[in-house]
Amino acid sequence: MSSNNKKSNIRDHSAETNLFLRRALFAFIVIILLLLILLVNLADLQIANFSYYSTKSNNNRIEIIPIPPSRGMIYDRNGTPLAINNITYQLNIIPDKVKNLNQQFEQLKAIVDLTDEDIENFQKERRNYKAHRPVPLKDNLTQQQIAHFVVDQHRFPYVSIVGIQHRYYPYEASLTHIIGYISKINSQDKQRLEEENKSSNYVATFNIGKMGIEKYYEDVLHGIPGYEKVEVNSRGRIVNQINQHPPQAGEDIYLSINLKLQLYIEQLLAGRKAAVVAIDPNNGEILALVSSPTYDSNPFVGGISSDKYKALLNDPNKPLYNRALLGSYPPASTVKPYIAIAALSEGVVTPKSVVNDPGWWQLPGTERRYRDWLKWGHGKVDVLRAIEESVDTYFYQVAYDMGIDRLKAWMTKFGFGERTGIDISTNEESRAVMPSREWKIQRHKKSWLQGDTIPVGIGQGYWTATPIQMAKALTILINNGKTYTPHFLLYKKSDILNSNEQQPIVNPEKYLENNSLSDVNPNYWALAKEGMYRVMFGSRGTARKIYADAKYQAAGKSGTAQVYGLKVDEVYNAHKIPEHLRDHALFVAYAPYDKPKIALAIVLENGGGGSSNGGAVARKILDFYLLGNNSTQLDESSPNTGTED
């Protein structure tokens, strides 16, 4: 072997050593740099941004759970609960933690009777909840369903049962049109709450007042939420409570409603399409407000099914419709006392003015005749007899002499054509129609004709009114122009002066309105009231037969509102026309006559004659309220075929 080959096989240890040292140095430098980076990051985490990352860590471990406030209860004037809170049990699930929701639903169907409707409602509600938060899956669990779930609870780590407050209306269909109901918060509610800067007050609440008292007094009843700071594990379950800030319960409220009277009137009107408003004329307190038929509001609390809601919507008797506040009816002859006061005040008539009634009144310069309800007429009548016998021709002449402008101005003072201001949301009360020249142009694109004014004189034509308007107008007459706003609220719990004596603050003067009717001559009020007294107790009064044996004195006025117009010389016969075209029966009354305690406005849809049918209902209500009995019986054998007022 040559010397050159020997040299090539000799390793250069020096070079290898230098290469190793260089590589080791490089690796050492890299490690030092990495350690420096690690130390810098540790310093950033532990020193510079300690608070930030500490908070994030706690947020993964600690949760703030809002606590819903207890909703205030609703009572009648005597302390009987009308809306209460029951504890019910709800199945909740954390959907973001469950890998296969559909599989979980299938498993739960056999255990808690989970339905397709429950799942559908869950999918709708899920959008309203934050991630990793429990979402309601099924409400109102039975004890059997709870027991079945508890046995298998280990199979569902992200499903739990919680107790919640559930609004319940113990009188079910009774009082629905007054109390209303609460139901789930929807997108419109959320938008309104955000606009009113109230959304933070509903972080723990899923329901809100939708109708009636529940809606109008929502801010009073709702309360203020609290919160609970808790420590949770990786499954989202609470393992420790850190601290708690209790919620502030909503206020209890007491309504002016007399429950016994309310239930009695509802029973009296069962099977009818009707409305009754009973009010204390001394302060505007609503004693009863009934719209028949009605419906049970309890299904709305948890969310009524679409089939049940459609059934209510399609019911021909319209139970969802609040006839007492939204029903617009021709007020008919019930308004004659108010028109008499207007005519006397304007000097159009005097207490001694006489009009001859041959049974009809003819518009001057035309062949048009307006009939009186009594075919052969009443002869010569003055204003007192015109009210007592409800003489149409007298008020045709008054309307002709007054003109629509003055009639409208005066009837507006009695509250017609305006909302009463009752403590219900405005979309639950109608203005109805007090017609005028401007109204007809706007509504019908036609000018007002002189012939349009004549039927207004007897509460017909374009004029419509709600039962609550009729009741308010009656209280204005009773009080000689003094006007109280009708209201349901009697007092709130915070109005109680002394918790031991339970004496609430009730101040009717806060419901007193300004009204120029206080300038009316007192003699005119007295004359109108006397005419109404004679309606019931006069020798020719239209309701004298019904009240002949009454044990109290009262005053009232009947009305019969035509649903459709009769042809010339056509005779009204209820037996020959469909029920939905029969006249409405109206009656307004108050008693006792000298010191009134109650005033009534009654509308019986397609009920026939106002005196015989409406007057009889009023008699039973007054007997019940003033005497504590219901001895008077109604003749239900056949509808009244007359049209007397």
Q: What are phi and psi of 59, to 5 degrees?
A: -65, -30
* Distance, CA of 14 to CA of 9 (rounded, Å): 15
User: Which residues fall within 8 angstroms of residue 13, CB to CB, at 6 or more apart?
Assistant: none
DSSP 8-class letter at 92: E
Tokens of 189: 């509610």
- Which ranges of 359-459 would DSSP assign to H, the alpha helix? 383-388, 392-413, 437-444, 450-456
390 has catalytic annotation: no
- Closest alpha carbon to 552 in 615, 619, 641, 464: 619
Contacts of 431 (CB under 8 A, 6+ apart): 417, 418, 419
Measured N-to-C along each axis, helices 101-112 and 143-151 cross at an angle, to the nearest 10 degrees, of: 130
Strand 74-75 with 253-255, pairing: parallel
Q: Is 463 helix (H, G, I), strand (E, B) or coil?
A: coil
β pairing state of 207-211 and 512-513: unpaired
* CA 597/CA 609 separation, integer angstroms: 26
- Select which of 256, 292, 297, 333 is catalytic: 333
| DSSP string across 374-386 | STT--EEE-HHHH
Residue 247's nearest CA partner among 222, 226, 219 is 226
| C-alpha closest to that of 227 among 194, 193, 200 | 200
Residue 47: C-alpha distances to residues 40, 54, 136, 481 (Å) = 10, 11, 42, 78
Q: Please give the positions annotated as active site.
A: 333
